């Protein structure tokens, strides 16, 4: 740069200084208003082969060392909660059991491996009590007597085999309901029956659900009464941005209503399940890709004033630390990781 251009640029910079500083200050304020991501859903195989296109084949071959490395990577990003989506699907389990045949994976017992890793790295796991039966029919799974018997048997087996792990923090009930104004009675029964068994097996264990239909919640006394009836510690509502049911600019209003009703009910704690993905093609019929970081930051800004903790769906597949020893997902997953770290959403 010659001297003339240098002086001109210095003058322009001096004039722009206050404006630039204001922009930086605004950005810093925005960052400070974002609650950090403290947890994520976790899986051994994604339930939809189309959606899990970029990581299912990789996870299927993960060794015990790679599962350990992935849990450590997530812990190093500042996350302290992992929610295991399922312990069984498509009639096969992800752990040794007499109840079902087992998926062939790269290690014999991935559930034991990740819980052992979580013990080391300070992660709290919510262990799933499903999916047993046809996962695409959650209403049936919550009401079918035989499925219910299998679910309760599995909970007993899981508590016996893995309850000694300090990382076994609680239970997740994956047969999620769609809220159409209010909860269905059968969903409340399913949750409360699961929680009764959880309390009997592991009295100190916490419980979590993550319903969808957040935009459809009717903010009235009936919904508050249903919150009072639900025997569950945490409700992490899906923000439904990734599945294109809700616009980012709408999200804050929905979570503000939920905050007010949870405050009235004074029972379950209000968490968020923020979707950090987008679809490669048609919704529900194509691969999941990492969402643009700008959109994710807006999602975090929307829910942060109203929720106690923010979890995401999900780290697996959507995020990878650059140079990860256990890479699984789309190449853009390192970009999302890096940019969220720059915004202090993760460590």
pLDDT at 18: 42
pLDDT at 32: 57
* CA nearest neighbour of 88 among 79, 78, 101: 101
Q: For residue range 115-143, what is the model confidence (pLDDT) as tens digits? A: 999 999 999 999 999 998 888 888 888 89
User: What is the C-alpha separation between 110 and 90, in angstroms, rounded?
Assistant: 17
User: What is the C-alpha separation between 278 and 299, in angstroms, rounded?
Assistant: 13
User: What is the C-alpha separation between 331 and 280, in angstroms, rounded?
Assistant: 13
User: What is the C-alpha separation between 34 and 296, in angstroms, rounded?
Assistant: 11
Spatial CB neighbours of 38, under 8 Å, sequence gap ≥ 6: 78, 79, 80, 81, 309, 310, 311
Confidence (pTM): 0.90
User: What is the C-alpha separation between 344 and 302, in angstroms, rounded?
Assistant: 16
> What's the distance, CA 289 to chain centroid?
15
Q: Is the dihedral of CA 316, 324, 276, 266 positive or negative?
A: positive
Helices 64-76 + 110-121 axis angle, to 10: 40
Q: Please count the helices (runs of H) and the strands (runs of E) in the chain.
A: 11, 12
Mean pLDDT for all residues in the chain: 92
Quick one: tokens of 71? 């849990």
Mean pLDDT, 10 residues at a time, the chain of 347 residues: 38 42 43 87 97 98 98 98 96 95 96 98 97 85 91 97 98 92 96 97 98 97 98 98 97 98 98 98 98 98 98 98 97 98 97
| Percent of residues, the chain, with pLDDT higher than 70 | 91
Element (H, E) at 235: strand 234-238
Q: For residue range 290-316, what is the model confidence (pLDDT) as tens digits? A: 999 999 999 999 999 999 999 999 999
pLDDT at 12: 42
User: What is the C-alpha separation between 347 and 341, in angstroms, rounded?
Assistant: 6
């Amino acid at each position: 740069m010659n001297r003339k251009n240098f002086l001109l640029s210095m003058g322009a910079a001096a004039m722009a200084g206050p404006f630039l500083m204001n922009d930086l200050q605004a950005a810093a304020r925005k960052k400070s208003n974002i609650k950090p991501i403290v947890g994520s859903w976790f899986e051994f195989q994604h339930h939809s082969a189309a959606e899990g296109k970029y990581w299912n084949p990789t996870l299927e071959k993960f060794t015990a060392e790679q599962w350990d490395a992935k849990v450590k990577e997530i812990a190093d990003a500042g996350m302290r909660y992992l929610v295991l989506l399922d312990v069984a699907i498509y009639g096969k389990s992800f752990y040794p059991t007499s109840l079902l045949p087992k998926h062939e994976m790269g290690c014999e017992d991935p559930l034991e491996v990740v819980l052992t890793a979580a013990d080391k790295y300070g992660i709290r796991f919510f262990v799933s009590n499903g999916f047993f039966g046809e996962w695409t029919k959650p209403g049936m799974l919550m009401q079918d007597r035989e499925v219910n018997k299998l679910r309760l048997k599995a909970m007993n087996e899981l508590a016996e085999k893995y309850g000694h792990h300090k990382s076994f923090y609680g239970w997740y009930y994956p047969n999620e309901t769609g809220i159409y104004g209010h909860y269905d009675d059968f969903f409340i029964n399913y949750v409360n029956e699961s929680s009764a068994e959880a309390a009997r097996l592991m009295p100190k264990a916490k419980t979590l659900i993550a319903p969808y239909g957040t935009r459809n919640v009717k903010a009235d006394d009936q919904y508050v009464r249903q919150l009072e009836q639900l025997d569950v510690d945490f409700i992490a509502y899906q923000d439904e941005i990734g599945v294109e049911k809700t616009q980012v600019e709408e999200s804050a209003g929905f979570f503000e209503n939920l905050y007010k009703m949870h405050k009235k009910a004074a029972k379950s704690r209000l968490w968020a399940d923020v979707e950090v993905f987008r679809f490669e093609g048609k919704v529900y019929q194509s691969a999941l890709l990492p969402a643009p970081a700008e959109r994710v930051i807006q999602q975090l800004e929307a829910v942060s004033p109203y929720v106690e903790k923010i979890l995401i769906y999900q780290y697996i597949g959507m995020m990878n630390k650059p140079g990860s020893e256990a890479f699984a997902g789309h190449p853009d997953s390192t970009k999302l990781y890096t940019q969220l770290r720059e915004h202090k959403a993760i460590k």
